[in-house]
Structure 1
Amino acid sequence: MTFENTMVGQAAPPAHLAVRGIQKRFGGVHALRGVDFEVARGEVMALVGDNGAGKSTLMKVLAGAHLADDGEFLLDGKPVEMSTPNDATELGIQIVYQDLALCENLDVSANLSLGAEPVKPGWSFLPHLLRPLDDLEMEVKAKKAIDKLEVRTLQSVRAKVGGLSGGQRQAIAIARAVGTESSVVMLDEPTAALGVAQTRQVLEVVKRLRETNHAVVYISHNMRDIFEVSDRITVLRHGSNVATYTTSDTNPDEIVVAMTRGLDTENGNAA
């Protein structure tokens, strides 16, 4: 029985972000073994695999948090450098981690501008850090980002994040990633530990990311969520590609078998 990277289902759309032959080692651990991965604009690509498959490592390589040992990065078919998180940000790649990195003591508008707060004009004689913040501009930008994703459960961008539900917080973290002029948004287990109603809120936001022409990478263990929001599914196993499936042409059982046993390329099916 042999295993290799395979596209199962319909032809793939043109890739916006692609990586080829990515290798990553941590001492004696070979975390990524020549992984290929791509995602198109207007697409939700699910990235799945059992624990230790290499999902988190690949995500951090794509975000510039880990430096790949080998391989290449392509944006709209053109080679790009990806050595630091700043490189990823400048290329329009944003990641929303499980911990969300929100400040609970600040309101929604302040969180959405965190690290890039606008300052009021006319105070140029002061050092930048001492200039007063333009609260009105932050509020306008926050409302625009929230409206773009149609987050209907949020009553006010002046609400403190500490008083919001888990689903609302996740939506805010996604809105912040979208508000940075990004083209790629990666979501790490966005519905983990959420209730049914909150999960529904987040899944609706993810679907709207497709409509905003973002390339979305969706990392999850929840098969129900994956099959609801994704267009394609890439399966990793032991740091290597198994296959990329068109979601409408496969089923959860086939994906689970590919995750745990790999693909029998002689038959073109999960082993």
Structure 2
Amino acid sequence: GRRIRVHAPQDPDRRVAFLGDQLKKDLLGESADAVGQLVKIDGVPFQVVGVLQTKDQDSSYSGRDKDKIFLPASTFKAIYGPDEIDNLIFQVLDPRRVADAKRKVTEVSARRHRFDPADDEAIQMWDTTEGMKFLSTFFVAFRAFLGVVGALTLVVGGIGVSNIMNVAVEERTKEIGIKMALGAKRRYVIGQFLFETLTITLVGGVLGFATSWIICAVFPSLGLEEYVGRPEISGQVALLTTLVLGCIGLVAGYFPARTAASLRPVEALKM
């Protein structure tokens, strides 16, 4: 849009408007150039001088900025006639000085409107940075919880794979006996069952990664991205999970494989 003069004269006849990006799409379409167009508010025409850039907004006072239309304060006052300002939004350039800025705003407001700056009920402030800190802490704890649940799931899965391989050893006792009677060495038997265990683990891991990929691909279409973010598959997490799966597969398959390799051919053939 055009340059907006912050210190422009207070002209109540300036019928200009600044559109939220989603509102612009709803009113004028996706590709239309909104600047210079006229939009009507309560039957009064306003010239569009700019469109809000797309941004992430996880909190709002009375709706998200992308769905709003902004007017000059003097124009709004001339049309709708509010005599008082009951809401003031300000942003601190240095996030580390939020507390200082809040205290300064309170002191200035107290001098102008004659109230005790120590009175917490005189002026109310909504500090969005506090909400962000809470959300950051919450999501860190939530990720840790999911990590613990995931680790327990992998351990339980490893126990399940180990039980499956124990059953396989029992069912294939004669097969093992024949192989060992024909000269198969213990390391061959151990290697065979370890390979089968790792194959089962690999298939489970591939299915898990495929499910995660589908969830990440479908999630944006649910419209929750601006509230909880967009899930992504981290390369580090994927590598760590692969290593953990491999270790669990080796541990889960080693004991059944050792049991199979310790069978005596004569006894195995009798079973």
Higher relative contact order (CA 8 A, sep 6+): 1
Q: TM-score scaled to structure 1, two decimals?
A: 0.22
Q: TM-score scaled to structure 2, two decimals?
A: 0.22
Which has more helix, going by share of residues? 2
* Greater Cα radius of gyration, structure 1 or 2: 2
